[in-house]
Amino acid sequence: MLFNSLEFLLFFVVVTTLYYLIPHRYRWMLLLSASCLFYMYFKPIYILILGFTIVVDYWVGIEMEKCENQSKRKVILILSLIANLGVLIEFKYANFIADNINEFLSFSNSHAQIPLLEIVLPIGLSFHTFQAMSYTI
């Protein structure tokens, strides 16, 4: 759903109207649901990526709050960073890295090639990743 489409205008009007019609305590549920629907409109399976990072960072936040040992907190934070950056690298940079390795292999007369992933970059993945990392950091 593009921001300049008629579908988005209808979606925006419906969500905004509902937001002001429902009680204040339920507005967060509406916004969460609308955000998920908007994100899933592009490719529904990609909601699992967001779900994964949300669950990891939520757990990390809870564990870091409970933890009094500074070195253990750092380990938990590093796990969060690895998970978040791992998702970003997989979707955004995997083909770039594979292309460069394949190019290097072709210069060395090797016939080995790393297959490229046939995936589409999820919308807003970088933004979400850096927001999630700022939460844990």
How many whole angstroms from its chain centre is CA 34?
16
- Cα–Cα distances in angstroms (integers) from residue 81 to residues 1, 23, 67, 137, in the given order: 30, 37, 17, 9
46-70: average pLDDT = 92
Q: What is the pLDDT of residue 3?
A: 82
Q: Where along the chain do its domains lie?
A: 1-42, 44-136
**CA-based max dimension of the chain:** 67
Which amino acid, 102? N
Evaluate if residue 39 carries a pLDDT over 90: no
CA distance 133 to 80: 8
Report whether 87 contacts 129 (CB < 8 A). yes
pLDDT band at 30 (very low <50, low <70, confident <90, very high): very high
Average per-residue pLDDT for the chain: 91
